[in-house]
A and B are shown apart, each in its own frame.
Chain A
């Protein structure tokens, strides 16, 4: 079974003090940087293009192509910004990576910054995860002390500064333009596009924004070549990636495997659904991606496979729910998250998520009225695709897919509370003191 795994990013996670520079160097760390610095920046961009690396943050945009959009004739400085604001519900891949092997990212940052001609790179890290931020800061410090970062990188005469910036805990700051506003010291709200960040991003200068995992994948590509990377994955989704499984599985956690592995295979790797239960539904890539049912267990978990199933690969955050779970309750919890995290800029997201929560609460309490399911779908239709950024689409996607897959369960909300249909204690993974239900 385990031969399905392809640990590259996670290879050293189990080692003692894997986050220290010495440990990282002992397993080949920073050799890719040395190799990259001997190449021309354009060669590096071509290499990443050829490897077929696509954005691991959810949208799957080809990384090399993104890099090539940076206008090199622009007189302003070029910036590399790493999006480490991992906050999508269920997603837990970047934070473990940064905890266990921060140097993988730092090396990736240095190579990528060199490739796009940037002398200053920023890592915008989610603010709540203080432990991770400290690991990251220590790693950057070690890299500076070892001469990998800062002035005259590895004696090449090039300067690359790496700055770790802690966010203040807003989901919207994972949206790349809101992230830039936040990084500039403003309130994190998405910007109007165009201009796109590649042309006028951070401080109105050309900026590349990549996910942690995308940048962390770069050293391995440089070290092993495009062909090595291409050998993994499917036709259009190349390479390895980290899937994070959570919820009603026997062994939750991160599984690094080639693109296109199926949910059935991943569940096997995770020891299956918790004992005595069966799969009811799961998210392929966090709560923003429409949910799937056991019917999709054999669909490849890659960009194309998920699109064909009417959903998205997203962050590959597979939240697993067994038959004890109320889909109404789950949806309400998700939408409450989007309501809380809506930045307030545009009407459909701000008002729509507020309304959806109130409607879903009625479904949960069994006080919804005949016709409310259609109303719920209609309001989703009035929100979805109408908002300024994709945040509201996430709230709509989970709601719509939940209704589409489990309409009768919502209709039961016309008369019966969800906690009577699905006693909540049964789906609890952890019991807490005084948990009566």
Chain B
């Protein structure tokens, strides 16, 4: 199922042949000895070595004997195999065949242990600790050290999330190298010297990183722990299930560690083609949001204006009654959390059961131009641009996209490309964000609405890649320009949505003009294709209502019923309008947690958390990423798909599938669509509006509900500020705190004067904050002094 055409391991003609422990082995030129030994199955003990970090040679644990360096001469002393590349004819002896190397390794381990506390029984790492493991496999049985061990006050909070127990540290510098080399947040460093050397941070600058959890995972001892997992479980009591992160569209492979039917922690999986061995903090720590009091566990039905618990049959009857009453005047909005199978079920349910194309997954700012773009350039295209391409592309252009905030693992891959392969990044944005600076990106400063023109003027060649974010939908003409620029230059496009379920929703046909696989609704052959697969005579042929049209129609009373799946109405721009629409229509909500829609829903169905179901996500590459059932003891076995199947039964029809496996099979049987696609969007550039404009994007960590209840994670979010240029601040007479006022709302924020485009104010797009602007980027706003009582 998981085809990975991106894994391009080209045979390397530059092979070097050497001998390790008397076994000849040929490896690519430049391979480090430790890696060459791994390839033939010999694990040389190591602590500081990490294949994704630059070699440092600090711990000296991986010493080997090299009687011949390939030039007939040997090294008189053992050498660190983690820093030395192989050479033709080299002879290497590891601890397996060289008593000298074996003694060296034992000696180093003994030295590492003399100051290491014997607190394994209470250490988080105990049971999965490289130091513990290697002490057993390569270390001395007893210590010859009789002195007093080095101790420090413990633990030290190097950030709200990460804690440091210095006496456990073996000073391998993995964490400091990660923060400097991989994520570019060098807020931790080795300080002091000699036996007092330690990992430290400047007290006024805590370890501020979206990727801080990785240092816990790569720490070879228990020196770094997370507030979230510290003392929560023993590694040997945990069950591990591989899965896919359900936050953003990155498709990161994760390992879910759980016990007693509860997820205890999430670790990065190993996926060289996706997230390598890294994970952002949101993906790692944001998994407890389903544990609050707002979790919906039973169906609910509104009776006499009051939502009450109901049995499943009661709720199904109530929903069916409402839907029947609405006839074909029904719309479906599916949010970003759905697996491909669930999205596919909604798509099929809309067409074959409700008989409508009124379905849209875009629970955010959306435009018709975007819908056309998705149909023309994204849906049914299969994998094109991959993570590997981002790493090696000569030039990557970021359009309405801030990788560090909006797809953190894409950011890591781009940064790797910049560091290792000299990838050149150009970003069209109002200012150089911290992420852009870490990518050494060339900034083309543009106000919101200026992107299309700037892109038009950019010199691109066919090797370039345009990364465009979903925010582009807010700027009329921008996606059209992306397409025409690509056609003119040959540069490839990758559209990167924000949510894990978005790409699957597109492929499943959760759009009013698209059937699965990019088949246009208006294309008779496409309808026949899908009708045959779905075992129905015909499919509705009219393009359905987009999310904006659905909400408008519901608000005006033209649309009688709405089905909401995984949607928080506060995510929608024009949330007040959306809530008004929900007030008017008959609303069926399928959700894990109660939200503003629940207060207005007529029937509420509880559905599974991600760990309670299996399925697949398609990440932005359109790579298939499997989701595995983690919590086998779940009390709630009703997925969206099963709820829809039950509704269909009650409506006297047949959805044709009831299980995730059936849905996947059904989807997989759809062939590629060879017919015509939706035409490319041709919308003129609306240009930049005169006046003060708001620029905005969602930061990686904010008050979004997916981070709920993870206190330490929330604390590591960047403080919300309004960014203005000095000129703009001066012009509008703003100083420390300002109130940004839009047509529909206002928000008071501390001001941070930023080197940026004039007449633009940047605010974080944060749905959970009290007071919100509720307008898409590029809207006109005004600035005022804060209300009394507003705090910076």
**B-binding residues in A (CB < 8 A):** 170, 172, 187, 192, 339-348, 350-355, 358, 375, 379, 381-383, 385-388
Contact = CB atoms under 8 A, between A and B. Distances in A.
Interface string B187-219: 001111111110000000000000000000000
Contacts of A385: 76-78
Nearest to B75: A385
B417 interface: no
Contacts of B114: 351, 354-355
A351 B194 CA distance: 8
Contacts of A355: 111, 114, 145, 147
Contacts of B60: 346-348, 386-388
Given A342-B195, A355-B114, A382-B111, A347 B77 contact: no
A386 B197 contact: no
Given A346-B59, A354-B115, A386 B194 contact: no
Given A346-B59, A385-B76, A386-B104, A353 B111 contact: no
Contacts of B111: 347-348, 351-352, 355, 382-383
Nearest to A384: B77
B108 A344 contact: no
Contacts of B190: 187, 344
A172 B194 CA distance: 10
B112 A351 contact: yes
B58 interface: yes
Contacts of B108: 347-348, 382, 386
B130 interface: no
A350 B77 contact: no
Task: Count chain B CB atoms within 10 A of each CB in A340, A351, A353, A382 and give the residue with the most.
Answer: A351
B171 to A, nearest CB: 7
B150 to A, nearest CB: 8
Interface of B is mostly: loop
B63 interface: yes
A375 B59 CA distance: 22
A134 B273 CA distance: 59
Contact of B58 (A170, A347, A352, A375): A347
Given A192-B83, A386-B63, A388-B58, A354 B194 contact: yes
B57 A344 contact: no
B766 interface: no
Given A351-B114, A381-B103, A382-B106, 9 more contacts: A187-B191, A339-B194, A343-B194, A343-B197, A344-B190, A346-B60, A350-B194, A381-B107, A383-B107
A11 B104 CA distance: 49
Nearest to B107: A382
Interface string B107-119: 1101110110000
A384 to B, nearest CB: 8
30 contacts: A187-B191, A339-B194, A340-B194, A344-B171, A344-B190, A344-B192, A344-B194, A344-B195, A345-B58, A345-B171, A347-B108, A347-B111, A347-B112, A347-B171, A348-B108, A350-B195, A351-B115, A352-B111, A354-B114, A355-B114, A355-B147, A358-B147, A381-B107, A382-B103, A385-B77, A386-B78, A386-B107, A386-B108, A387-B60, A388-B58
A385 B145 CA distance: 21
Nearest to A375: B144
Contact of B57 (A340, A383, A388): A388
Task: Count chain B CB atoms within 10 A of each CB in A187, A341, A354 and give the residue with the most.
Answer: A354
The 10 closest A-B pairs by CB, nearest first: A382-B107, A344-B197, A385-B77, A351-B111, A342-B194, A354-B195, A358-B147, A344-B193, A344-B194, A347-B60
B442 to A, nearest CB: 23
B288 interface: no
Nearest to B194: A342
B113 to A, nearest CB: 9
B193 A170 contact: yes
B61 interface: yes
Contacts of B106: 382
Contacts of A351: 111-112, 114-115, 195
B58 A386 contact: no
A379 B147 CA distance: 14
A353 B193 contact: no
Contacts of A383: 107, 111
Contacts of B110: 382
A375 B454 CA distance: 72
B55 interface: yes
A346 B193 contact: no
Given A355-B111, A385-B78, A347 B197 contact: no
Nearest to A393: B77
B310 interface: no
B170 interface: yes
A347 B59 contact: yes
B56 interface: yes
B107 A346 contact: no
Contacts of A354: 114-115, 150, 194-195
Given A348-B111, A355-B114, A385-B78, A339 B57 contact: no
Contact of B193 (A342, A347, A381, A382): A342
A340 B196 CA distance: 10
Interface string B41-69: 00000000000000111111101000000
